[in-house]
Structure 1
Amino acid sequence: MLNNPRSIIAIVPAAGVGSRMGADIPKQYLMLGQQCILAHTLDSLLSHAEIDQVVVALHPQDNYFSQLPQSHHSKLTTVVGGGERADSVLAALDFVESINPEAWALVHDAARPCVTHQDITKLIESVNLHPQGAILAAPVRDTMKRSDTNGNIIHTVDRALLWHALTPQIFPVSVLRHHLSAALAAQVPITDEASAMEWAGVMPGLVNGRMDNIKVTHPDDLQLAALFMSQQ
């Protein structure tokens, strides 16, 4: 638990259609076992004892979310998201700050259904060591190559101290909202919440997370996610 307990509010950006992976519906609504990807993701967040509320940023024309059983959960709220992931996170942060500016935002990808309670707890507890905020990440294990624009190897990159950024990522709501808003106004490319904080001069902490916390981006990932979830 945090030394000074505050509300933990999970934010799930699910507004963009993203890659449909050859399907007719947004990828977060593709089936993974008995329910869709997003439903699994929400189950992990809604059932965690230290998460007080879950805010999902949806596309204004989303016709699928209301059909999920999780959409009626007492801990869940929705907001209208934006065109890009960062815009959706900012919309959710605007809402959260209006009701609880002292909260912590735990931002998690809609298409990462394999996140475990153990990793979520580890990230939340890391705030004691990293009061500026932190992210789940995994050390790079493979040999890394840098290429030119023609697909030829230029050189091998030293993998020491390199990490794969994962989610969730946790930051104080008001601080993250301020830096994310400023970065978007400056047209800075924002790939995750940590990149907005880094741009503002903040050095988020790294929390070693499980490698099976994959993001579903390719049809093959569905089978891999199903395997990981069955083993968990």
Structure 2
Amino acid sequence: MSDSIWAVLPAAGVGSRMQADRPKQYLPLKGRFLLDHTLECVLSYPSIEKAVVVLSEDDPYWPDSQFASHSDVIRAEGGSERCHSVLNGLCALEGIASDTDWVAVHDIARPCLRHSDLDLLFDGLGDSGAILASPTRDTMKRGTLQADGSVVIDHTVERDQLWHALTPQVFRLGELRTALERALADGFEVTDEASAIEYAGGRPRLVSGRADNIKVTRPEDLALAELFLSQH
């Protein structure tokens, strides 16, 4: 692949579901910030030029990251939602990267990413890019919210070709920026970068990735991430 690859890592969220005293990306994990494990994996991958870390303007923890002064890290300011932060990260590459370059957007709270998955992802890129994903193994149910707040089963969802979207998600920089701008202008709810590309008419490929590439969202996920990192 001749075009350059850049990474964008949104890290401006507060992670309220972790019920912690700080954003989840700065929680301790095996003696370091969770975020430092993620950045180590991304920055040590030979094909990635630089990484844009999108942070809150008044982030007090970032200076203590081992990558705060790294020469291959570009800092950008976060937005009100993830999609705005990603767009800010893309704009931070203006004048540095080409619109035809690839950009890999990765959740900062996925510290268990492996280089082997990055190899598969970059080898599997199609015209509309690709995302890491995991085939659904469980029986899936569609629920219906009741007036009393309970949820009952509406129906069983066919799980054949049903996938959990993971990250990184990789697209042409210019195409992703345009797709995000269009979706936001139209008021379309962007749940991930692939949804913006889909809205613009693209059909990204699904590349099967490891199921241990988990996103740390709840307190119990931290112990699971530590276990997976210990197995690397």
TM-score (norm 2): 0.95
Q: Which of 140, 145, 153 pairs up with 2:141?
A: 145
Q: 1:165-185: CA deviations, max 9, x gaps?
A: 000000000000000011011
Once the two structures are superposed, residues 158-208 of structure 1 have per-residue CA deviations (whole angstroms, 9 ceiling, x without a partner) of 000100000000000000000001101111111110000011111100000
| Alignment partner of 1:110 is 2:108 | yes
Question: Residues 49-76 of structure 1, C-alpha deviation per residue, up to 9 Å, x if partnerless?
Answer: 1111000011001111111111111111
* Greater percentage in helix: 1
Runs of 4+ in 1 over 4 A off after TM superposition: none
Aligned alpha-carbon RMSD (Å) = 1.0
Q: Which amino acid aligns with 2:59?
A: D
Inter-partner Cα distance in structure 1 for 2:5 and 2:145 = 43
Q: Which of 46, 50, 62 is the aligned partner of 1:53?
A: 50
SS in 2 for 1:189: coil
Listed as ranges, the matches of 1:193-212 within 5 Å are 193-212=193-212
| Counterpart-to-counterpart distance in 1, 2:16 and 2:195 | 22
Q: 1:140 and 1:97 mapped to 2: Cα distance?
A: 37
Identity of paired residues, percent? 51
Which structure 1 residue ranges, 5 or more long, are not aligned?
Answer: none
Q: Which residue of 1 aligns with 2:186?
A: 186
Residue segments in structure 2 that go unaligned for 5+ positions in a row: none
Superposed counterparts of 1:18-29, under 5 Å: 18-19=15-16, 21-29=18-26
Q: Does 1:131 align with 2:127?
A: yes
Do the aligned partners of 1:11 and 1:105 also contact (CA within 8 Å) in 2? yes
- Alignment length, in residue pairs? 227
Distance 1:69 1:210 in 2: 27
3-state DSSP class of the match of 2:18? coil
Pick the aligned partner of 1:32 from 26, 29, 33. 29
Residue identity opposite 1:60 in structure 2? E
- The worse-fitting range, judged by mean Cα deviation, of 65-74 and 78-87 is 65-74
Name the structure 2 match of 1:95: 92
